[in-house]
Copies of this chain bind each other. A is one copy, B any other.
Amino acid sequence: MTLTDIAIVGVGKIARDQHLPAIAEGGQFRLAATVSRSGGVERVENFDTLDALLEARPGIGVISFCTPPQVRYEGARAALEAGRHVMLEKPPGASLSEVEDLRALAGEKGLTLYATWHSRHADGVAGARAWLADKRVQSVRIDWKEDVRVWHPGQVWIWEAGGLGVFDPAINAFSILTEILPVPIHVTGAELRFPSNCETPIAADVSFAGPHGLTATADLDFLYEGDPFWTMAIETDGGMLTLTQGGAVLEVPGDRQGEGWGDQPGIHGEYPRLYSEMARLLAAGQSEVDTRPLTLVADAFMLGRRVDVAPFTDPTLKET
């Protein structure tokens, strides 16, 4: 099988931790080039700008964006205008309106646009969706807690407007929730806790509702020490479903699926599935752009009450 040439734009933590290994191991793509101002990957051509890559390497048909959301749109639009297929890290943009713009452009150009949600590919998610399909969901409780100092060291963009703060991890929970629930859900309120020196919240409570009395709550905390606590519990007329370890472990009455992360907390096995899905979309000539997780976040910001909390200083930052 021929490998498809792909380029990575933005060679930061998520690219090195997840994208590069997933591409190397996946057997669908070949990393043909990178775009990074701070250094690329050994033995792979690196460009300082996306424009330089698009001009110099017309044969690279697929561009995967790992840049922060605040700068994703301009690059993605340029890539689509240059006739390249595009894959976007989550969240697919800093605004819903820019993602709609990209969706329309990809449609006009007949190109594949894949807005990825890696957590939807955690080991327990497909089983959760199947199990819930014929249940009546009564309530959902999400706890999504991690230590930003451990999981996002030095990532200043998280605290800048558009970086989403605690919703950067929480959108993973929302991507799972919208994937597995058999009914729609909407935000009814939120409390957003903004450190006085940050433009995004460091913690939040969000409440949701759905048809026929369904309620959900999300307790989100970005200063939680110890192993990440990425959990959702769903009460149904057929008993309780839990997804733990970020969706890697599913438990329902009489069944447990997923091996979990053992002594290595984190994301396992999700990114290779994203690249498999991208290969499938390319072969089928399709796009996949589901903005529901980002819509829930935008709704929480629009509906949320804001509360000031203590300033946050990231000890992993050299300068703040």
A contact residues vs B (CB 8 Å cutoff): 73, 77, 94-98, 100-101, 104, 161-162, 164, 184-190, 194, 199, 210-211, 292, 295-299, 301-306
Establish whether residues B161 and A304, one from each chain, have CB atoms under 8 Å apart when the complex forms: yes
Establish whether residues B211 and A77, one from each chain, have CB atoms under 8 Å apart when the complex forms: yes
Q: A184-B101, A211-B77, A298-B298 are in contact. Are A94 and B303 (CB under 8 A)?
A: yes
Measured CB to CB, the closest approach of chain B to A67, in angstroms, equals: 15
Q: A101-B184, A184-B101 are in contact. Are A162 and B303 (CB under 8 A)?
A: yes
- Give the residue name and chain of the B residue nearest to A184 (CB): B101
Establish whether residues A186 and B95, one from each chain, have CB atoms under 8 Å apart when the complex forms: yes
Query: For residue A189, which residues in chain B have a CB less than 8 angstroms away from its CB?
Result: 161-162
Residue among A73, A190, A299 having the largest count of chain B Cβ atoms under 10 Å = A299
Q: A100-B295, A186-B101, A299-B298 are in contact. Are A305 and B199 (CB under 8 A)?
A: yes
Q: A104-B184, A184-B97, A186-B101 are in contact. Are A302 and B297 (CB under 8 A)?
A: yes
Give the top 8 A-B pairs by smallest Cβ distance, nearest first: A97-B186, A298-B298, A95-B299, A98-B186, A301-B301, A301-B302, A101-B184, A298-B302
Q: A73-B186, A184-B104, A187-B97 are in contact. Are A298 and B296 (CB under 8 A)?
A: no
Measured CB to CB, the closest approach of chain B to A250, in angstroms, equals: 25
